[in-house]
Structure 1
Amino acid sequence: MGETFVGLGSITAPSGVLVLGMASWIDYWPEFGQPLSERARTVAAEGGGHLHEWLCEAVAVPAAAGRPLTVRGATSPSPFDGEQTIAVLEIGLGLPWPDGRDPAVPVLLGDLPVDRCGMVVGDAAGLDAWTGIDGKSTDGLADVTYRGRHADQAYARFGGERITRHGYDGPRGWLRGATGQE
C-alpha cells in the first residue's frame, strides 16, 4: 500500500539546524547539561541524528538557514481508534545531497516515541526559548496559534485573528509580541 503525502505547510530554521522533538520535554534539556540548541548543532554537524537524555528525545538535522522548508506528512490509521494520524513527516531541508547518495532514497534519522502532548518541529535555537505549559514567558508576552482538526471549534470559542505569513493566510491566533498587545 502506497503512502499519500499531504502538505502541512512550511517552517524556517534561521540557525540552520532543524529539530523534531517531543513537545512535553523540550524545555527540560537545560536541566541535563547543555541546551537543546548546542546538542542539536553538534549532531547536525555530523549529518543529523537522534538525541536522547532521560525522557527527552529529539532528532536534529542540518537545514538551509532562513528559507521556507516544505513539510509534508503521510497518514495511517491509529491502532487505538482507527482515525487517520500522521505516521511520517517529510521535510525538504533545502540542502544538496552528498555526492554518491541517491536522492530518491529517504534518510532515516531516528524515530521518536509517541508523545501525548504532541511533537514540535522548529529551529534549534528558537526551541531553547520554549517555556512549557507551566513556564514563565521570557518576554512577558505570548504568541498563540491553533490549527488541526478542531481549529474551527477553537476559533468559535476563543476567537483570534488570521495570522498572515509570506502573503498567505495561516492559522488563527494572537501575535502578542509582534503587535505589542498585552
Structure 2
Amino acid sequence: MTKAEKTRQFIIEKTAPIFNRKGYAGTSIADITEATGLTKGSVYGNFGNKDDVALAVFDHNFGLMSSLVNKKMAEHSKTVDKLKVYLTLYAELIKAPALQGGCPVLNTAVECDDTHDLLKIKVRSAIDSWHSTILAVIRLGRERKEIRQKFDEKEFAFALIALIEGGVMLAKVTGRMTGFKAAMKQAEKMIDEIAK
C-alpha cells in the first residue's frame, strides 16, 4: 500500500463512525479534520470533496457489516440458521453496536433518498448485494434439500430486509425493543416457513 493509499484508508477509518452517526449533512469538514488530525488541504489532497469521502466511508461501513454477516454465517451449516444470523446479529448491533451509529444502510438510506443521488446509488447497490446474498443462501439450501422448492425467493429476500431494517428503525427512534422484537418474530416465522 502506498503512502497516499494509507492516508486515504486512515481518513476513511477515522471518519467512518462520524458519518455513520451524524450522516452526510451532519458531518462537517471540521469533523473530518478533527478526527484525523489532518488539515483541510490534506483531506482534499486525498479526496476531491466531502462527497468522495462519504462515498468511500459508506463502502467501508457496508464492507464491515458484510464481513461480520459472512463470518457469523460461516459458523452455521444449516440454511435456516444462516438466515437467522441476520436476526441475532442485528439484535446485538442495537444493544452493542459494532459500528457506531448502527446500520449504515438504514442510516444512509433515510438521509439520502431525496437529497444525495450518489449515496442513494451506493445504498441501492448495498441492498442489491444483501438481496443477492440471501438468494445465494436460499439456493444453496435448496440444493441441500433444506429449503422448500416452491416460494418466491426474491420476494422473501426483500421482505426479510424490510423487516430487519424496519425493526432497527423502530428501535432507534423509540428507544425500545418492542417494535424490533415484533419484526424479528415475523422474520423468524418467515424463515421457519421456508424450511422443509
Task: Report the TM-score when normalising by structure 1.
Answer: 0.27
Higher RCO, Cα 8 Å, sep 6+: 1
Greater strand fraction, Structure 1 or Structure 2: 1
Q: Which one has the largest radius of gyration?
A: 2
**Larger fraction in helix:** 2
Normalization by structure 2: what TM-score? Answer: 0.25
